[in-house]
Amino acid sequence: MIRNWPALGFMLATFGSAAFAYETDPYTGRHIDIAESAPALDRQVNAALDELAAGWRRGADEGRFATAIYRKLGGRHWVDKLERWAIRAPEVEKIPVTRSQSIYAQLPMYATRVAGIFGFGPTIKVNGALIGTDKIGHFLSQGWKFYRRYRRMGDEARAAKRSVTTEKAIFGRLTTGAYSNADIVANYEGYRFYRSLFEDGVVPGKGAIFVWEGGKPVRQRDFAWGDHVNAFWDEAINPNAYDRLLRPHIEQVLLRHCDRFESNAERYAAPDADALFERYQPIGVVDTRALRPDRFLTNQCPPSGASDAPNTNQRSAPAALANSPAP
């Protein structure tokens, strides 16, 4: 019996649907080729920035302008505005996976909790990374909250700590059984975006997106998702930390990908994964490298030519993983 159900009921009653974005399935269909969506998403963001700047009448107030962007593109919704647009837009190609084909159809409700109830969002390609559309919402909305905390506290590390607390509670471990490293990265990159609106050098080698001229924001460069999205937005390359109910099931799901991994190993790895871990560990990314497919499947899949052996994919994961402490 799940002892967290009362807590989940409290979260639903207190925060409503706004607290729960779709979860993502980072494994199913990743061998399928889809088109790059960064150009389409870049156009949407830059058009919104220009529209807000053209009508701006509130003077040189960076905080208010950042809030206006959050309200224009993010917002207090179950699924943020730009995220919803990406889900529906035909120019944003998605991996064609239905819920019945996803990992959530293979996992028991008692393990997935809220994720099993609310479903999962589609996977798209941005800057070469396969990301769930929920990361757009994390970038715009949780990134804005991170930015506000930074402005109030004046300390990035303290603001990051609050972001971690939120992921463990409202958006993560309590409600879904998973602490999402990729959510933490998207939150942080969203915060960097809001800082880069008027601050030079936040994006290395680039000036601020805007400068103030007579109390009006004037755009001096384009926003680009490629300045923020990398392989650590991908929950396969940057795996979640799962609780003891969900982790064994995820390990079994991974083992079902042995054949795909053997024929498409490059889809399950990133050459800069270790460097990205070092970059983001200080802001709350926990060490789940043992569950990265390039490591886990290399160690656990049967040798080539033996994948048809009876019950190969039903064996248990190694004890070191099954018993590893959760954050």
Highest mean pLDDT among 1-15, 169-183, 225-239: 225-239
Residue 210 three-state SS: strand
Looking at residue 324, its pLDDT comes to 38
- Which DSSP category does 245 fall into? T
Give the pLDDT confidence of 102-140 residue by residue, as tens digits. Answer: 877 767 665 555 555 555 689 999 999 999 999 999 999
Distance between CA 316 and CA 145 in Å, rounded? 40
- Residue 308 burial (C-beta neighbours within 10 Å; 0-12, 13-18, 19+): exposed
Q: Is the pLDDT of residue 4 over 50?
A: no
Lowest mean pLDDT among 16-25, 71-80, 85-94, 287-296: 16-25
pLDDT tier for residue 20 given thresholds of 50, 70 and 90 = very low
Q: Is 31 helix (H, G, I), strand (E, B) or coil?
A: coil
Cα–Cα distance measured from residue 23 to residue 15, given in angstroms and rounded to the nearest whole number: 17
pLDDT band at 98 (very low <50, low <70, confident <90, very high): confident
Token pair in block for residue 186: 């998207």
| pLDDT top residue among 308 and 272 | 272
pLDDT for 253 equals 87
Q: What are phi and psi of 179, to 5 degrees?
A: -100, 115
Residue 228: which pLDDT band, with cuts at 50, 70 and 90? very high
In angstroms, the CA 129 to CA 232 distance is 8
d(CA 155, CA 288): 27
Per-residue pLDDT tens over the stretch 236-289: 999 999 888 888 988 998 999 999 999 999 999 999 999 999 999 999 999 999
